Each structure stands twice: as structure tokens, then as C-alpha cells.
Amino acid sequence: MTSFPFFQHISSDRSSLAREGVIRTRHGVVPTPAFMPVGTRGTVKGLTPDTLSACGAEIVLVNAFHLWLRPGTERVREAGGIGRMMGVDCPVLSDSGGYQIHSLETRRTVTEEGVSFLSPYDGAKVFLSPEISVAHSEALGVDIRMVLDDLAGAAAPPARIREAMERTHRWALRALNAWDPGTTAPLFGIIQGGVDRALREESARGLVSLVGSRGQSFSGFGIGGLGVGETVDERLSVLDATVPILPENRPRYLMGVGYPGDILEAVRRGVDLFDCVLPTRNARNGSYFTREGAIAIRNARFREDDRPIDSSCGCATCRRHSRAYLHHLVKNDEMTGAILGTIHNVSFYLEIMREIRARIRSGTLSGLDWPCFTTRHAIGGDS
């Protein structure tokens, strides 16, 4: 199997492009395919570091954009890095904030130099460039970081989608030149191109071929710009066009997607890393994942249901608490309800990733199916 300084491909599924591997970082080893709970501002909402570890988290995601604005990346550096500040005992990946900047809409101005925008916290005018983004992620002390990208949504005009892709490539080269792979954490490029297969292929080939001023290339690749309005079929088409172009010895990361069924389909296409806010956000809204589909715990039919959320789940919530109790907590807006639901949902996602890895290893992934767990068939989503 192939290897790279921090990624090793261990085994492959016989019936798909799915693969099992490991990512080795300075703060631990991550088995892949892996799901990253989202800790945007330096915390996974509803979970203490000890609880996050008990749920089985092997890597978490933070957002360099938000941490730069508050509490400030230099403050994080002074505290010993984001992992130490958070108190987590696993590796940390930082996103650059391209999606968050995209969502600011009229509050931002994108130029070749970078992005000027008004801080969503205090309205101050700030500027972010590819080089500044690399510096912020370095100050955070993360284990993997992403380049700054220019994101265009699925509904954007074709000219804007191409412009964003080409600018992302130019910014990626600047980020590569600002990055010292010998002394700092791995850096991933981000593929853009909307739902246009030809643009996605062009983006993938372009980023794979980029070489920095010190001969460095990207340590892995994010597939960005998805989960922003495209259909499931369009997303899968993008993966079918993109993943085969990417090097076998580098991790592939589908950014911001999604439901368990969406993750499974991406794994079958050779994707290694995932993140999404669904487990935590849905839990705060009283929507819990089970093997039979998601349940909306506020529904009156759970008022006297003494079963656990999922009888096959071994998380602390399912071992100790009933649907009826959670119904009571959520109906009364008790904080404990959101916490217990988050413990279950995050544990559920991490357990299905362990099952996926075991099935790749044993050659039985083809027998795994979650039709009730895709964007198409989601029950009780996070509106």
C-alpha cells in the first residue's frame, strides 16, 4: 500500500474505492475514514473535553477565522496552542474560514489580494489573505490546516464559479509558498468548481500539480464548495469526477457533508475525512440519530417511551436515560437535554465510522446501507 510522511493507506474495499488508512500527527494517530466533530470556536457545543474523548473522538475541527477574531490566534499561541487550550487529547484540524467569509455576503469584498470584511463580532474592518491565513493556522498549533479558498455557491453564475476556482488556485500557490513543510503542520489544498464536472477535474489536476518555491506540494486535498445547495446526485457526480484524480498517498477530505448515508456514499468513492455540524446542531434541536432513522424527541409519542434513543448504542446517554426523560428535558428547554442528545449523536457518528472501517477491513462494506440517512431522506433535520 502507499504511504506519505503522515498518511498511510492500509487496506481497500473489494467492491468500491473505499479505503482504510491512518493519518499520523504530532498529537496522535487518526484512523480513516474519520469524522471530525465540529468545534468552531474552540469547543464542541454541549461537550466537555473529557466527554468528547469518551464519545470516541479521534480528531476535531476548529475554525481559524473565528479563533482569529476571538480570542485571537496570538492569545491561543500564548496558551500553548488550541489543543492545549481546549484540553483535548486528540489531533486538531483547522478550516481557514472560506465558507464563513462566503456567508457574510454583502459584508465582504473579494479581490486578488484577499478578502476585506466587517467582523461579525464588532463590525471592525479586517483583511485576510492566503499568507495571513497560513500564519493564523500556525499560531493555533493545529495538526492539519486548510488553505484560504474562494467559495461560490451551487447557484452562482458559471462565470463566478470559474472565477472562484481560478482564484482559489492562485491563492493556493501563495499559501504553499508561505508554508514551511519541514517545521509546520501539513497543509491541504481545496478543490472548487461548483457542480461542473469539467471544472472540478480541472481544479483537482491544477492543485495536484502545484509546487511551491521550496519544492513543496499539498499534504492532502479538501473537496470544498459542497453542501451549499447542490442535489445529492450532483454531489456524487462531483466526487466521481474528482477523487480518481487525487494522489493515492494523500488524504481526501469532503468538507461540511453530511448525513451518515452521504458519508457512506463518499467513503465508497474514496474519501477519508469528514466534518459536519449535524450531530451537534440536530441534538440541540431535539433530533437524534438511530439505526432506523432520526427521531424528533419533542413528539408526544415519546412522552412515555422508556426505551433508550437507540437500543444498539452504547453511549452514556443510551446506557442511562430513556426517550421519555429526554422528551421531558427538551420540552422544558433544559440544558441537560441538549448535552445528553449531543453525547448520543456524536457517539453515533463516531461508531458508524468505526463500523465503516471494520467493514472495509473485512471486505463487507457492500452490505452496509443507510437509505434513511441521506440528505434526500433526512428526518428531523436542523432547520
Q: How confident is the model at residue 377 (pLDDT cuts 50, 70, 90)?
A: very low
Annotated catalytic sites, by residue? 95, 275
pLDDT at 103: 81
Mean pLDDT within 56-73: 97
Burial (CB count within 10 angstroms: exposed 0-12, middle 13-18, buried 19+), residue 374: middle
How many percent of the chain have pLDDT more than 90? 86
Do the beta carbons of residue 153 and residue 228 sit within 8 Å? yes
From CA 130, how far away is CA 146, in angstroms rounded? 10
From CA 264, how far away is CA 271, in angstroms rounded? 9
**For 208-230, how does the pLDDT look when each residue is reduced to its tens digit (9 = 90+)?**
999 999 999 999 999 999 988 89
Eight-state DSSP code of residue 6: S
Q: Above 70 in pLDDT, residue 3?
A: no
Q: Above 70 in pLDDT, residue 381?
A: no
pLDDT at 98: 84
Pairing of strands 19-25, 7-12: antiparallel
**For 326-374, how does the pLDDT look when each residue is reduced to its tens digit (9 = 90+)?**
999 999 999 999 999 999 999 999 999 999 999 999 999 999 986 556 5
Across the chain, mean pLDDT equals: 93
Backbone dihedral angles phi then psi of residue 193, each to the nearest 5 degrees:
130, 15
From CA 163, how far away is CA 351, in angstroms rounded? 40
**For 84-99, how does the pLDDT look when each residue is reduced to its tens digit (9 = 90+)?**
999 999 999 999 988 8
pLDDT at 258: 85
Q: Above 80 in pLDDT, residue 375?
A: no
| 218-242 as b/e: b if 16+ CB within 10 A | bbbbbbbbbbbebebeebbbbbebb
**For 281-295, how does the pLDDT look when each residue is reduced to its tens digit (9 = 90+)?**
999 999 999 988 899
**Residue that is written with C-alpha cell 442535489 in the block:** 231
Q: Which of 104-108, 176-180, 317-321 shows the lowest per-residue confidence on average (mean pLDDT)?
A: 104-108
- Is the previous residue joined to 97 through a cis bond, with omega within 30 degrees of 0? no
Domain(s) labelled CATH 3.20.20.105 in the chain stretch across 7-276
- How many CB atoms sit inside 10 A of residue 5's CB? 10
pLDDT at 99: 81
**For 23-52, how does the pLDDT look when each residue is reduced to its tens digit (9 = 90+)?**
999 999 999 999 999 999 999 999 999 999
**For 116-137, how does the pLDDT look when each residue is reduced to its tens digit (9 = 90+)?**
999 989 999 999 999 999 999 9
pLDDT at 43: 98
Q: Above 70 in pLDDT, residue 204?
A: yes
Stated pTM of the model:
0.94
Binding residues for substrate: 95-99, 149, 192, 225
Q: Above 90 in pLDDT, residue 106?
A: no
Higher pLDDT, 258 or 173: 173
**7-276: CATH, from 3.40.640.10, 1.10.287.130, 3.40.50.720, 3.20.20.105:** 3.20.20.105
**For 258-315, how does the pLDDT look when each residue is reduced to its tens digit (9 = 90+)?**
899 999 999 999 999 999 999 999 999 999 999 888 999 999 999 999 999 999 999 9
Residue 319: what residue type?
R
Binding residues: 95-99, 149, 192, 225, 313, 315, 318, 344
Burial (CB count within 10 angstroms: exposed 0-12, middle 13-18, buried 19+), residue 255: buried
At 319 the three-state DSSP class reads helix
Q: Give the angle 350-353-358 at the CA atoms, nearest 5°.
A: 130
Q: Above 70 in pLDDT, residue 382?
A: no
Q: Above 60 in pLDDT, residue 234?
A: yes
